[in-house]
Amino acid sequence: MKRILLSLMALAAITSVAQRNSQEDVQSGTPALMEVKGRKLKVFLQRMEDGKLTFQMLKKPSDMTVPADKISSIQFVSKYDEAGLNSAYGAADYDAVLSILEPIMADIGQYMPISNNMREPFVMMFEAYRGKKDFANVKKHADLMIATGDEKLIDQTKVALALAAIDREDFAEAEKLGGELENEAAKLYVRAEVERAQGKPKEAIQTVNAIIFDHGNDLEWLPRGELLNAYLYLDMTSTNSTITTNSAMLTARQVKNIYAGGNIAGEARIFWESLGGAPIEAEEIARRAELRAKAKELKDKRAAEDQANREKRAAERRAQAVAKREAEAKAAESDAAE
């Protein structure tokens, strides 16, 4: 943590230097702290092409190009409302997420294949496209996600591409992408999405249940699967009069509550609210609060009664003891008198 702070301070210094310099001698590019073989270099990134990174060293405005895989990491100095971003992301307010990240990523997005401190926001942006069903942008950014080499991100990307395929009813492509996934739960998730799109909610929900049953602690795909189940319950209401929207609403509520803070919980909240969950939950909370208050009141009352009883018994015992002592004293006195 301390190291990161120091690095950021150094970066801030670079930026201010760069700004000062810009008035005198402008050096273009994206300022960053680049780590290569344990060395940290202050650089201005120029571009990323064909797996090669072109940059300029600070105060040396000549381009240098190196294979990107030789770079250990990059530290960007990006000023953005991090709290606002997290809040918007957690609420699945993807428009807000994109309004924060798109301007930043327009410049630095290209460097994502190299390990860097903005990868998480980049993934957030990608998720926002997926959440908005903006599959054109999903496809546009997919290569960058895959180029990270991070298995988790690659799976996430392929799932998003599979969703795009499902959206255009290319189920064969979706299934092909699903088959390429490393994560078993992710595979099941894609299959369930395909089944849902094919109008087979019963099969789909059973596929999701395989995630829940066999991958109950997969915090990446379980929330998505459970949210999908919420949608599937709603789908079922159109063909099965026995099933009510309660199942959809309560499933969404669980996703919202269990995975609070994540974007899937945010999506669940939006769905849950659309089903009229908020007033119901408010009522339930009020009911429980009332019950608890009553229980507490009862408990306090009983405790007070117990205390009073104890005190009463103690007073009685004391009185008895005093009386006994007095009686003994009197007896002793009378013995002594005799």
Q: Return residues touching another protein (CB under 8 A).
A: 202, 205-206, 209-210, 212-213, 216-217, 219, 229, 233, 240-244, 246-247, 250-251, 253-254, 257-258, 260, 288, 292
Instruction: Give how far Cα 337 sits from Cα of 203, 330, 331, Å.
Output: 102, 10, 10
Enter the tokens of residue 211. 């995630």
**CA nearest 252: which of 279, 274, 221?**
274
* Nearer to another protein (CB atom), residue 38 or residue 279: 279
Residue 102 or 281 with smaller CB distance to another protein: 281
Please report, in angstroms and rounded to a whole number, the separation of the first and last CA atoms in the chain: 91
CB of 291 to another protein, least distance (A): 9
Q: Which residue, 75 or 251, is less far from another protein as judged by CB? A: 251
Q: What distance in Å separates the CA atoms of residue 280 and residue 277, rounded to the nearest whole number?
A: 5
Comparing CB distances to another protein, the nearer of 46 and 206 is 206
Q: Assign 46 to helix, strand or coil.
A: strand
| Residue 160 or 230 having the CB closest to another protein | 230
Find out whether 153 and 143 touch, Cβ atoms under 8 Å: no
Q: How far is CA 259 from CA 89, 209, 249, 262, 317, in A?
A: 13, 17, 15, 6, 58
Cα separation, 73 vs 292, in Å, equals: 53
Taking the least distance from each CB to another protein, the nearer of 74 and 250 is: 250
Cβ distance to another protein smaller for residue 17 or 212: 212
What is the CB neighbour count within 10 angstroms for residue 147? Answer: 18
Amino acid at site 171 = F
Nearer to another protein, 76 or 233 (CB): 233
CB closer to another protein, 137 vs 237: 237
| Distance in Å, CB of 297 to another protein, minimum | 15
Q: What are phi and psi of 303, to 5 degrees?
A: -60, -45
Least separation in angstroms between residue 71's CB and another protein is: 30
| Residue 310 Cβ vs another protein, minimum distance, rounded to whole Å | 18
Cα–Cα distance measured from residue 108 to residue 119, given in angstroms and rounded to the nearest whole number: 10
- Smallest gap from Cβ 236 to another protein, in A, equals 9
Q: How far is the CB of 93 from another protein (least distance, A)?
A: 21
Q: What share of the chain is helix, strand, coil (3-state, %, to 5)?
A: 70, 10, 20
Q: Helices (H) and strands (E) in the chain — how many of each? A: 13, 5
CB of 91 to another protein, least distance (A): 17
Closest distance of CB 286 from another protein, Å: 14
Smallest separation (angstroms) from another protein to the CB of 240: 5
- 32 C-beta neighbours (distance < 10 Å), count: 26
Element (H, E) at 257: helix 245-258
Q: What are the Cα distances from residue 256, in Å, to 188, 219, 262, 268?
A: 21, 13, 9, 5
